[in-house]
Chains A and B, each alone.
Chain A
Amino acid sequence: MDIERPNPDQLLSQVTAEEAKAKRGKLKIFFGASAGVGKTYAMLSEARQQLLQDVDIVIGVVETHGRIETEVMTDGMERIPLHETPYRDHALKEFDLDAALARKPAIILMDELAHSNVVGSRHPKRWQDVQELLDAGIDVYTTVNVQHLESLNDIINGITGIKVWETVPDRVFDEADEVVVVDFPPDELIERLRQGKVYLPEQAKLAAKNFFRKGNLLALRELSLRRTADRVDGEMQAYRRRTLMARVWPTRESLLACVAAGEHGEKIVRTCARLAAQLDVPWHAVHVEPSSPSGESERARQEILRVLKLAQDLGATTAVLPAPAVASALVRYAREHNLSRLVMGRPSRRRPWRRPLGDAIEAEVDDLDILRVSLAKSTPQKASEPVRPLARTPIRWNDYLAALAACGTTALLATPLLGVLELSNIVMLFLLAVVGVALRFGRGPAVAAAFVGVGLFDLFFVPPRFSFAVSDFQYLVTFAVMLVVALVVGQLTAGLKVQVEAVTERERRVTGLYEMSRDLSAALMAEQVAEIGSRFLATEFGFKSAILLADEKDRLRVMPGAACDVDMGVAQWSFDRGEAAGRSTDTLPASKCLVVPLKATMRLRGVLAIELEGIDLLRPEQRRLIDTCALLMAISFERIHYIEVAQRTIVQMESERLRNSLLSAISHDLRTPLASLVGVADTLQMTKPAPTSQQLELIQTMRNSAMRMNALVGNLLDMARLESGAVHLNQQWQPLEEVVGSALASGAAMLEGRPLKVDLAPDLPLLHLDAVLIERVLFNVLENACKFTPALSPIEIEGRADSQQVIVTISDHGPGLPPGREEAIFEKFERGSKESATPGVGLGLAICRAIMQAHGGTIHGATRATGGAQFILAFPRGEPPSDDGTAVENPEEPGHE
């Protein structure tokens, strides 16, 4: 899949992170290997540079430790006075955070990021002060020594033997905007130390002797450089994510998994897949097929193909290479595909007569890395193989028989030794047998073995032999102790075994889950998700399952491929409540299935039904695993749902665009004949001899109809353009007066004879308008007023400005707007009254609204209290340019006068 394409969420979070970052101050860390390398000095020189460029920079804290050269650097820089806290008989000085925040410089210097503040400060640590400064938008310069980094603290303690208590979380370091490494060669540092140029606190003087050894310094220096390199690597990865350059980066260190017959191919493939994921490199999986016909059995071949299929699923490129010599075939393949590392199995035991493949390859070439995966003890997990049942394991009598046999054998073996060994040592042999049984067969058989062992011991070894009677009273103590010890050891051993098994089991489950989530993330269809989920449940537990998805109307629908019958009642209950139901829950436990809701972030997507034949209660970890599986599936369903939504939207947008362009084309083609129609009518009017008055009237009608048609086409065209988003606003700052004037001029014919009152406040600001479109808005509103009011009734236009916007009201003296439809009249193809004889299709006001919205303004209609309609247009004020060109000199024409 396209991993290198960042998804919208990623981009969004990146944008928000960047926004937050832009507001936040920047943290610059001067990072050094140890004290005395000159971090503070470096910080101060940088600060002085900034100061020269007039940056507002102040000193929060700088520890000069009385060093003259450092002290000199601080000369002439503003300092935030330290805050004094009275403590017992003297005052403790500490950085004054509130003063710094109040001062709000551009940059503040905060030496020694790891410093612990004195008791009673706002934050216990200085780095917390720094966080607050950064949050306030202040840039911070600071210094850190490598041993103060939390994660390296232990390592450095191990190297140098000095425990540092003042630490900085690595997060702070990693989130810093810039890290400057102040590097200083250890030899010179030791020299500086010898000259007494390095400040050390009194109590540290002794420790320092050990600390400033060359070995330590070298180690610290390496650590600091490596830590910075890690950070740079992290930055690089972030950069790659940002700039989608994944593909451009050269392929490196690619892996080749070598799958051989009869070995544990699956493990090799999985290991290789994991490595490839960690290294973020592509990988291949190949199997070399010997060309001799006796080479492989059909079954082995099937197994190999299955493993290669798995590799393919895990993202590998796979191949089967027919070749006589396995090693050279692999080497050739690796060369051809530029793969530098081979991953292969290490046989569990060496056969002296067979040279391992790895050795053979090593003998052939020496520039390929070979990784050998341990295959010992790994039992292959076949995907098709149902795993053991989950109910209580039935008592396995064989184990108990084996325990008895073990005790019997011990008794037999010990009998000839009776004369040689002390009785107490024979007891030991029995204990050994119990431990063995516990390890092999578990708790129950171990208990049995303990009792039988004691019995056999008494019967065969304790005099009188062959009788349970005991001659010496002391043996009772022996028996008791032996029994107790046997029981305890047996229990402990068996417990250990159970734990190991549990851990292995958990590990396996997590791996399974991980693989499932990987598969899910690649799934593109709901069916795939259902199949992956079912496969996981079948593989992990041997459960049959079915998935029910909800459709638009929240009706559950069984997905194809369901392996079990679903009780729809239980499923619906679970879906409605969003809770699990059915077997192994408290709700409807008699049902055959367990039903788990598929709860995604936005809503329930459906339910997962699992058939639990013969199992009454699931173990908690099983239940957890099933819930996790359900969650993963739900998220995948949701993702797929949104992919579909997005695709639908794109299709919708596309068809909308098509419709609009079609509309434009039609409108345009309608207009040309109209133009000639109008022209011809006009010309007809001018013919000589002059037409009769009746003819003239007909000609006029023809012309007017054509003009009206044209207006209609114009409206349609405008609406199409506005809706398709093809309108590019040509906004310019201009006085409202001019637009009103041109609208009145273009409407002069229809307004003829009407008393017009234009009242624009003298203080109206310039507005950022597209003059043509706003003229159209005013024209349409005026036209509307003319249409619906009695002829010769007055119209008033008024313009007022408030602090936020400029309001233009156009009022008439007609019947007013139809009550309750003040908003509806702005809809497309809406008219005040349906049966009106007034011409028009009701696009005019819809266009007005679209244009006003494009300008960030609004238009509303109302009926005035005094009667008559009123249209209120609100324009945002914006920030008009203050320069009106009065002071601008024309270079071409010197001012006259």
Chain B
Amino acid sequence: MSEIRAKILIVEDEADIRRFVRMALESEGHEAFEADCLKRGLIEAGTRRPDLIVLDLGLPDGDGVDFIRDLRGWSNSPVVVLSARSGENDKIAALDAGADDYLVKPFGAGELMARVRAQLRRRAQQATPGEPMIRFDDICLDLSRRVVERNGEPLHLTPIEYRLLACVATQPNRVITHRQLLKLVWGPGHIEDTHYVRVHMANLRKKIERDASMPKHIVTESGIGYRFVL
């Protein structure tokens, strides 16, 4: 599976965690660089031009969110954030600032590698503007015709549901916060009305998921948002 060899930057202050992340990444053939603080991380990111960044949010010399904001000014490399379990607000802030995914400590190497692979694959796909068709299960989302079909039969979605689906399906494996969805679908005036997203997402799931109470494609990230899984 390690078809993509990438340059990956690890920004983490705990040496033990840094070491095993590095070992895990290198075992898949990636090239890993380490930084133990935010300042060092920014320098490394600027000079090494990594394909992906693994970033710990709790750094001693600053807020990881600031790092992402800074980074997003000149790079769109995927960022996978590492955080403590209780820090929902930190995660949301990081995702809103432009992080792509997050992992809760303690996490397994397998978990980390799966996320890294997904992000690298997405990046590769974005590089080649392709197919306006997204297929999952027996569903086909045709972005150019703005139609959703199941087994060739048109599936009726409301305009809002269509927009929600289009938003999440075009960014597979990326965690999208409620806020980002609200802003995209309802506009910036409604970013606090999280129940809008939830109500319509529930309806959308009933239409596209086999079992809406155990969704396979539009996965809930509790308290944060959604992730689309192909």
Contacts and interface: CB of A to CB of B under 8 A. Distances in A.
B132 interface: no
Given A675-B107, A703-B108, A881-B195, A683 B222 contact: no
Chain A: number of interface residues, binned into ranges: 35 or more
Nearest to B85: A714
Contacts of B211: 758
Given A675-B17, A738-B220, A772-B222, A885 B106 contact: no
Contacts of A770: 223
B16 A896 contact: no
Nearest to B197: A885
A538 B193 CA distance: 73
A50 B146 CA distance: 57
Interface string B173-201: 00000000000111111100111101111
B109 A686 contact: yes
Contacts of B16: 673, 676, 679-680
Contacts of B66: none
Contacts of B200: 884-886
Interface string B104-119: 0111111010000000
A744 interface: yes
A886 B160 contact: yes
Nearest to A884: B199
B214 A758 contact: yes
A525 to B, nearest CB: 46
B124 interface: no
A93 B138 CA distance: 84
Contact of A686 (B27, B84, B193, B215): B27
A734 interface: yes
B21 interface: yes
A672 interface: yes
B106 A678 contact: yes
A885 B161 CA distance: 11
Contact of B24 (A675, A686, A707): A686
B86 A738 contact: no
A885 B88 contact: no
A896 B108 CA distance: 44
A678 B190 CA distance: 41
Contacts, number: 155
B59 to A, nearest CB: 13
A682 B198 contact: no
Contacts of B189: 891
Contacts of B163: 893
B212 interface: yes
B14 interface: yes
Contact of B196 (A688, A772, A888): A888
Contacts of A745: 214-215, 219-220
A677 interface: yes
A894 to B, nearest CB: 11
A766 to B, nearest CB: 6
Nearest to A679: B20
Interface residues of B, number: 52
B202 A735 contact: yes
A257 interface: no
A758 B214 CA distance: 9
B144 interface: no
Interface in A697-756: 703, 706-707, 710, 714, 717, 721, 730, 732-735, 737-742, 744-746, 756
B213 A741 contact: yes
Interface string B57-93: 0000000000000000000000000001110110000
Nearest to B17: A676
Contacts of B17: 672, 675-676, 679
Nearest to B209: A741
Contacts of B109: 679, 682-683, 685-686
A458 B209 CA distance: 133
Given A683-B20, A686-B109, A672 B196 contact: no
A237 B77 CA distance: 67
B212 A688 contact: no
B152 to A, nearest CB: 21
A742 B220 contact: yes
Given A721-B86, A732-B194, A771 B213 contact: no
B158 interface: yes
B23 interface: yes
A714 to B, nearest CB: 6
A219 interface: no
A674 to B, nearest CB: 5
A558 B14 CA distance: 64
A671 interface: yes
B202 A730 contact: no
Given A671-B84, A686-B24, A706 B106 contact: yes
Nearest to A743: B222
A15 B85 CA distance: 42
Contact of A733 (B105, B106, B112, B195): B195
16 contacts: A675-B105, A679-B24, A679-B107, A682-B20, A682-B108, A683-B20, A686-B24, A734-B194, A737-B212, A738-B202, A742-B220, A742-B221, A742-B222, A745-B215, A888-B196, A892-B188
Interface of A: 668, 671-680, 682-683, 685-688, 703, 706-707, 710, 714, 717, 721, 730, 732-735, 737-742, 744-746, 756, 758, 760, 766, 770-772, 775, 880-881, 883-886, 888-893, 895-897
Given A740-B213, A888-B190, 14 more contacts: A672-B14, A675-B105, A678-B107, A682-B24, A707-B106, A732-B194, A738-B198, A739-B222, A758-B213, A880-B195, A884-B199, A885-B193, A885-B200, A890-B185
Q: Rank and list the top 7 A-B pairs by shortest CB-CB distance, nearest first.
A: A885-B196, A682-B109, A676-B16, A675-B106, A679-B20, A733-B195, A772-B223
